[in-house]
Amino acid sequence: MLLKFILPLFLLGVVYFVGRVHASRRRLPPPSVHEVRPFLAFHQGPAGKIAIVLVISAVLSATWMIVSHWRETHQVVEIRVLDISTGKKTVYEARQGDVHGRMFTTLDGRSITLADVERMELIPK
């Protein structure tokens, strides 16, 4: 999950660095006394605007992925455990992110591990 934070920031840094290098390699005459150079001179032109749009879309999509993953893992689900041998049903509530295969942790902190004869059914609330 940490990679989802680091990757967009890394890409933003790479695009910024490439733009700065590209801007410094241009052989422009030195600015006159009254001429003011823009701080981010590389964003002028269609290629710079496309790069800015791509960076913004990468940051927005990474943010959307992080938020949707967080919402999915924190969703409360109802877990119905059915014992095949006796037919007994037990109902628990847990967060989606706390369910790992045949093990889960309930909302009140109990750790449950299913036996081989038990089956689990997840129902979103």
pLDDT for 27: 59
pLDDT for 59: 93
pLDDT for 77: 96
**115 or 29: which leads in pLDDT:** 115
- Beta strands 103-106 and 89-100: pairing type? antiparallel
- What is the rounded CA–CA span in Å between residue 53 and residue 57? 6
Query: In the chain, where are the structural domains located?
Result: 2-28+39-73, 76-124
Q: Which two tokens stand for residue 67?
A: 């938020």
Could you report the per-residue pLDDT of 62-104, keeping only the tens digit for each? 999 999 999 999 999 999 999 999 999 999 999 999 999 999 9
Could you report the per-residue pLDDT of 27-70, keeping only the tens digit for each? 566 656 565 556 555 556 677 788 888 999 999 999 999 999 99
pLDDT for 33: 58
Cβ count within 10 A of residue 54: 12
